[in-house]
Structure 1
Amino acid sequence: MKRNFLKKRLELTPVQLIVISYFLATFVAMILFSLPVTLKQGVTLSFVDTLFTSVSAISVTGLSVVSIVDTFSVFGIFMLMIVLQFGAIGLMTLGTFIYVMMGRKIGLTHRRLIMIDQNRGNIKGVVQTIRLVLGFALTIEFVGAIIFGTYFYLSGYETTWYEAYYVGLFHALSSYTNAGFDIFGDSLYRFSQDYFVQTLTMILLILGALGFPVLIEIRTKLAKKYPDFRFSLYTKLTTSIFFILILLGALSFFLLEKDLFMANLPWHEKVFHSLFFSVTPRNGGLATLDVNIFSTPTLFIISILMFIGASPSSVGGGIRTTTFAVVLLSIFTFSKGKSEVRVFKRRLATEDIMKSFVVFSTSIMLVITAIILLDSIEQYSLIGIIFEVCSAFGTTGLSMGFTTELSTPGKYVIIALMFIGRIGILSALLFISGKNNKESYHLPEERVIIG
C-alpha cells in the first residue's frame, strides 16, 4: 500500500512532463554552447551567460548577453540553428517525427504530450498534424534561405556564394521561427532602406507567428479536396485579431513618429518603418532601426504588442492573440448587458473565457512583479525596463541595448520570463498545481459584491 502511494506521488502529468522536457533541453543546449568547438578561439562564457543564451534559444526569444557572431564558431552557429528549430516547432513535434521515421507507433500518452506541446484541444489527427507542421517549417525555411542567399550574393551584401547562402539560411530560419537572433552583427540596421529584405522578413515572421493550425486550414482550403470546408472559429478569430493588431500598430507608429524621427523621411520609408515595427514586436525581435530613437509612447505601444505576442500553436509567446481577443469581446459583451460572448455566429465556451482571463491577469501580475524586481536591481529608465520585460515575456527579443549590461540577478529574472513565455502561463500554472482534479460535488452558490 505504501509502495502504491509513493508511485502515485511520483506520477507526472503530461504538462509536467512537457515542462521538464524543456528544462532538459535547456541543459543540453548549455552543454552544446559550452563546447570549445562551439565557441570562437579564446572566447569563454560564464554559467549565467550560457544559461541565458540557452533559454533564449529554446524559447526562440533572441535576447542575448553576448554578440552571436563574435562568440560562436560556424559549428556553433549551426548548433544554435538546431536548438532554435527544436524550440520553435516543439520538442514533442521533432521527437515524434524521429519516432515515425524509425517506424515506431505513437501511443496515446505520447499523443497527449504532442497535443499539450502544440496547444491543441484534442488528440484527433495529431500525428498527421506533426507531419504538416514539420513540412511547413522546413519548406518555408528552405525557400526563404534560397531567396535570401541568392539576393545577398547578387546584391553584393556577401562576396562569396557560400557565405551568402550560409547567412541566408540563418536569417530565414531566425525569421520564420521568430527567434530574433542575427549574425549580421547589427540586427537588420544595414537593411533599413532595403524593402525587399524587409518585405520577405515580414512575410516569414507572419507565417511563423500566425500559428500552425491556421496554415493547415489555409492549405486544406486551397487544396479544394473538401468543397464544403469552412474555416474554424479559431482561425477566423486569431487571423482577424492578428492583422487588426498589425494595422493598428502600424498606424499608431506612424502617427506617433511622423513628426519626430521620421519627419524628414520620404513617405515610403515612413510606411515601411511603421509596418515593420508593427510586425516585428509580434515575436520577431529583428530591428531595422535603433529603438532608442523612438518616443516613449511608441516604446509603450511596442511593449503592449510584445506582451500580446503571437497566435497560439505558433512559434511565438506572450498571452497570445486569442486571449486578447476573448478578453476584449467579454468586456464588450458585458458592457452591452449580455451574458453570452458571441463572435462569427458562434458562442464562446465559458471555460475558454475563464482561461483567457486567468492567462491575462496572471501575465499582468507576472510582468508587474518582474518590472518591480528589475527596477530595484538595475539602474535604467522605467520604460526601458518595461520594454525589456515585455520583450522577454513575449519571447520577442527586441531590446533597448542594455541586455548585455544586466546584473546577474537581473539576468535570472529575464531568464525566468523567457522560459515561462515559451511554455505558456497555463502550462506554468498546471506544472505547479499538478493534476487537474475536477470537483466531485458543488457547494451552495452565494453572490458577492463586485466593483
Structure 2
Amino acid sequence: MKFGMNKLLTPFRIIVLSYIIAMAVFSILLYLPVSSLPGEAVSYQEALFTAVSAVSVTGLTVVNVSETYSGAGVFFLALAIQLGGIGVMTLGTFVWMVLGQKIPLSRRMLIMVDQNQISFAGMVKLMRGILFVAIGIEVVGALILGTYYMNFFDTAQEAYYQGAFGALSAFTNAGFDVTGQSLVPFADDYFVQLVNILLIFAGAIGFPVLLEIREYFNPENKQFRFSLFTKISVSTYFIVFVIGAAGLWLMEIGAYYEGMPWHQQLFFSMFNSATARSGGLSTMDVSDLTLASLLFLSGLMIIGASPSSVGGGIRTTTLAVMFLTIRSFILGRSDVKAFGREIHQEDRQKAFIVLSVFMVGLFFAVILIAVFEQANDIALMAIVFDASSAFGTVGLSMGITDELTFASQSILMTLMLIGRVGLVAFLFSIRAQDKKTPYKHPTERIIIG
C-alpha cells in the first residue's frame, strides 16, 4: 500500500488499534493499587470499563470516581480523557515533534483519519492548532471555574483542582466528575451552568470550526471566508440545540418543571439540551423526566456533536445532509445545495450510510443487552437510553450501568469505542480493499419504498 504501509494495516485499522491499545494501557493503570483509595478494591472489569469510557470521552461509569480513585487514579483518568478528547494521533504527534522528529507522510495520513479530515494536506498545522486551542480553552475554563469555586471549597487548592478537572471534562465532553454528584449541587447556579455549556459547545462544535473562528479574527486575513463545513455544522448544531431546549421545556412544563420559576425551567432545558449532545454532565437525575423526554434525549444523543470534535453520534453534518437531500427530492431537484454550494454525491451517500449503520447497530445492541439482562428486570427505556448514550459517547445514564452484567457492559464498551473512532473510520477499518472487476452486469431497476 502507499506510504509503505502493510496492506492489512491500513490507516483506519491503525487508528482503531491505537484506541484499543490506549484503553488497555489505561485499564492497567487504573487497576494498579496506587490508583485506588485505601480500602477500595477495583476489579479489572471495572478498571477496563472506566478506561474505555475515559478514552472514548463518554463518561459512563460503574464506580463512583470521587469515592474510588486516589490522586494518582484521578491523574490517570484525566490523562486518558485528554488523550481521547484531543485524539491519540494528535497528542502522539506532538510528542514526536517535541523529540525533534520529522513528521512522515504516513503519520500525517493517520492524523487525517483520526480527525476525520478528507485531505492530509496541512495536517501538522491542524494538529498544532487543535492542541493549542484545546489547551488554551481548558486553561481559561479551569481559571474561571477554579476562581469561582473558591466560594464553595475550603482551600484554593481544592477549588482549582475541581475547576481544572471540571473544565477538562466539560471541554472534552467526557462527562466525568470528581464531586460524586456531577453538577447537581449547582442546579441553581446559572453561572457554573453557563460556563459548562460554553465549554461543551467549544468541544462539540468541531476543531476545524474553532480554528476557522480564530482565523476570522486574525487581522491579517481580511479576505477570510468560512468553509461550507463550518456553516453547515455550526448552523445545524445550534438549530438542534434550540429545538432540544424548546422540546424538553414543552414536554416537562406540566411534569418535572411544574411549579418551577421560568428561569429555572429555562436553564434545565438549555443544560439538558447541551449536555445530551455529547457532554454527559447533569444538573438533575434524568430518570425523573417523562418517558417522552427520555426518548427525546435519546434522539439528541444519537445526533451528537459535529465531525472532527470530541463528540460522537451520527454528527451534525450527517443530519443536515440527510434533511437537505430529502428536501431536494421533495422539490424535484437532483442536486443538493446549501449556502450557495453543491454537496458532493459521495458525502450524501456517506450520510445515509452512517445513519443506517448507526441505527442498525444501536438496534442490535439494545436487543443483545435486553437478552443478557432478562433476569435483572431492567426497563427497556433505560437500556435504550444508556445504549444511545454509549454510542453517542455522551455519558448520561438512568443509573443502570453498574447493574448490568459484564456481557452487557462489553456491548456498551464496543459502542463507546466505535462512537469515539467514528462510524466512517470504523467502517473503513473493516472494509475490504477496492477490487476492480473486469466486467459489469446489466443494470435493472427495482421497486423502492
Category of TM-score, reference length = shorter chain? over 0.9
Once the two structures are superposed, residues 333-368 of structure 1 have per-residue CA deviations (whole angstroms, 9 ceiling, x without a partner) of 112221111111111111001111110000000000
Please say if residues 200 and 279 of structure 2, whose CA atoms lie closer than 8 Å, have aligned partners that are also in contact: yes
Amino acid at match of 2:123: V
| 1:161 alignment counterpart | 156
Please say if residues 116 and 425 of structure 2, whose CA atoms lie closer than 8 Å, have aligned partners that are also in contact: no
1:84 paired with 2:81, answer yes
CA–CA separation in structure 2 for the residues paired with 1:163 and 1:76? 16
1:36-435 paired onto structure 2 within 5 Å: 36-153=33-150, 155=151, 157-378=152-373, 379-435=377-433
**Structure 1 length-normalised TM:** 0.96
Once the two structures are superposed, residues 402-436 of structure 1 have per-residue CA deviations (whole angstroms, 9 ceiling, x without a partner) of 11111111111111111111111122222222434
Shift of 1:8: 9.1
1:440/1:175 Cα in 2 relative to 1: closer, same or farther (>3 Å)? Answer: farther
CA–CA separation in structure 1 for the residues paired with 2:435 and 2:323? 29
1:255/1:244 Cα in 2 relative to 1: closer, same or farther (>3 Å)? Answer: same
5+ unaligned residues in a row in structure 1: which ranges? none
SS class of match (2:35): coil
Shift of 1:437: 4.6
CA–CA separation in structure 1 for the residues paired with 2:7 and 2:39? 45
Amino acid at match of 2:27: M
Please say if residues 210 and 314 of structure 1, whose CA atoms lie closer than 8 Å, have aligned partners that are also in contact: yes
Please say if residues 56 and 63 of structure 1, whose CA atoms lie closer than 8 Å, have aligned partners that are also in contact: yes
1:28 paired with 2:20, answer no
1:438/1:139 Cα in 2 relative to 1: closer, same or farther (>3 Å)? Answer: farther
5+ unaligned residues in a row in structure 2: which ranges? none
CA–CA separation in structure 1 for the residues paired with 2:6 and 2:126? 33
Amino acid at match of 1:447: R
1:418/1:341 Cα in 2 relative to 1: closer, same or farther (>3 Å)? Answer: same
Deviates most, 363-372 or 31-40? 31-40
SS class of match (2:33): coil
**Structure 2 length-normalised TM:** 0.96
Shift of 1:445: 2.7
SS class of match (1:246): helix
Please say if residues 241 and 273 of structure 2, whose CA atoms lie closer than 8 Å, have aligned partners that are also in contact: yes
Amino acid at match of 1:104: Q
Deviates most, 40-49 or 282-291? 40-49
Shift of 1:377: 2.2
Please say if residues 13 and 434 of structure 1, whose CA atoms lie closer than 8 Å, have aligned partners that are also in contact: no
CA–CA separation in structure 1 for the residues paired with 2:86 and 2:418? 16
CA–CA separation in structure 2 for the residues paired with 1:291 and 1:423? 27
CA–CA separation in structure 1 for the residues paired with 2:213 and 2:57? 25
Please say if residues 241 and 274 of structure 2, whose CA atoms lie closer than 8 Å, have aligned partners that are also in contact: yes
RMSD value, Cα = 1.5
CA–CA separation in structure 2 for the residues paired with 1:265 and 1:204? 26
CA–CA separation in structure 2 for the residues paired with 1:222 and 1:439? 51
CA–CA separation in structure 2 for the residues paired with 1:250 and 1:439? 51
1:10-25 paired onto structure 2 within 5 Å: 11-25=8-22
1:220/1:443 Cα in 2 relative to 1: closer, same or farther (>3 Å)? Answer: farther
CA–CA separation in structure 1 for the residues paired with 2:61 and 2:217? 39
1:444/1:226 Cα in 2 relative to 1: closer, same or farther (>3 Å)? Answer: farther
Shift of 1:148: 0.8
1:1-16 paired onto structure 2 within 5 Å: 11-16=8-13
